[in-house]
A and B are shown apart, each in its own frame.
Chain A
Amino acid sequence: MAIFSVYAVNKSGGFIYQYDNYVHRAEAEKTFRYPLDCVLKIHDEKVVVSFGQRDGIRVGNALLSINGLDVNGKFTADGKEIIEYLKDSTNYPLSILFGRARLSSNEKLMPASMFHSLFAIGSQLSPEVGSTGIEMLETDMFKRHCFQTLTGIKLIVLTDPRQSGIDELLRKIYEIYSDFALKNPFYSLAMPISKSGKSKFLFYNDGETQTTLGQLCAAQWDSRSRPVVIQPGIESGSVVMPLALRCSSLDHCLRLLCHSGALMNLYMISICSTGIQCKYRFEKQNCTYFKNEHHYVMFSYLISLFNAIL
């Protein structure tokens, strides 16, 4: 029972995120004498078996290592061409490891984007009205579940065919995505999520207690606390260049620049259901545009609060 991989694709078909957890790849190692009885050919910069399936070595398996040394594309670890090396009878006997080729990230990108189109075709060819795209694809070795969010992001999970509870898992992954990727103001929408970029924002209060963004919003405002934003590489209290803000469909972040010389960034979360992407930048003196009354109320509260602090 296993989850093999998790992928996320944005609404234009680009790859955002991937996570692989392959438990076991079928590999077969054998000692060969001259001449080699499998026919090999070069395909996609790899040496694959095109004829000669036997003993666990199947057609399509790639040559992974010779004598224990991993090969590098179509060259051996020393830099010699594999096909030439194998034609030379003085190199025998040698042991060769064949197996399913591991996909490079480029190679994963292509099928993931292809799936995006197949998803749409599946909905077009539907014999029933109102069909969504392909939600679940089943083969004898794996099941592939796809969950499309309202904003067009596809979350794809590859699992064992007997694994259950995947709907729950997909919703949980969506929750995590919106918590860590969308609420991160440094994250550009529809761009790849960097693994280290789940950098959360930490706020230091006076008492050196750290709270995360979510906790700050939930906590009571303390007029004595001076929230300062920290991101990796920047010391607390230092001048931070104003950053463009992005609003996801779920959260809006307001930032307030104070006049005291040291720029302090304050992040305020308000839940809004407009579902439109927008940019906000607020100055203390020049109050700019608001989306609706709800934000104005929040912003006035902020102004009064900061007047009290500073």
Chain B
Amino acid sequence: MTVHNLYIFDRNGSCLHYGEWNRKKQAGISKEEEFKLMYGMLFSIRSFCSKMSPLDMKDGFLTFQTSKYKLHYYETATGIKIIMNTDLGVPNAKDILHQIYSTVSMGLYVEYIVKNPLCVLGEQLSSDLFSTRLDLYIRALPFFSPRAA
């Protein structure tokens, strides 16, 4: 049971943060292209779910899984999207992603904005403190176990 990687996107589609823990296979394209592809795919899946849904949806798209990995998706009201790829054993990471947003991201986000007058919304979060805190949080998750690469 492990976490492979994590993306954070803003509402315009630019990737704010990307973290990798246990990724075995690269996508074969550059990181920027991968971010765009990931964002585009999720945007399409979301609109596809809202069209296909037989009843009105409250939360929308939550997860998808393939034979090897599971992708968890969480979107806030402001358009911040958090995406986590884990392996198949993880049941439902929605509250974990919500915690990442509220305690790790939002808490540090506010600190980041308030204390750093030079940073701009929508650009890559380059705060070291944020990255370290996020890394520690992921490693502390009960289903995370670092495997030999």
Contact = CB atoms under 8 A, between A and B. Distances in A.
A111 B52 CA distance: 8
24 contacts: A26-B56, A100-B54, A100-B55, A100-B56, A103-B51, A111-B51, A114-B44, A118-B48, A121-B37, A121-B41, A125-B27, A125-B34, A127-B85, A128-B4, A128-B25, A134-B64, A134-B65, A134-B66, A136-B64, A137-B45, A137-B64, A138-B64, A139-B62, A142-B55
Nearest to B38: A125
A23 B59 CA distance: 21
Contact of B66 (A100, A114, A135, A140): A135
Nearest to A107: B51
Nearest to A115: B48
Interface in A119-163: 121-142, 144, 158
Contact of B24 (A107, A129, A134): A129
Contact of A142 (B44, B45, B53, B85): B53
A98 to B, nearest CB: 11
B49 interface: yes
B23 A127 contact: yes
Contacts of B65: 134-136, 138
B115 interface: no
A158 B53 CA distance: 9
A137 B64 CA distance: 4
Q: Could you tell me the dominant secondary structure of chain A's interface residues?
A: loop
Interface string A42-60: 0000000000000000101
A25 interface: yes
Contact of B62 (A58, A123, A128, A138): A138
A22 interface: yes
Given A127-B5, A127-B22, A127-B24, A133 B55 contact: no
A122 B44 contact: no
Contacts of A118: 41, 44-45, 48
Contacts of A134: 64-66
A126 B53 CA distance: 26
B10 interface: no
B67 interface: yes
A114 B51 CA distance: 12
B55 A25 contact: yes
Contact of B69 (A60, A124, A127, A140): A127
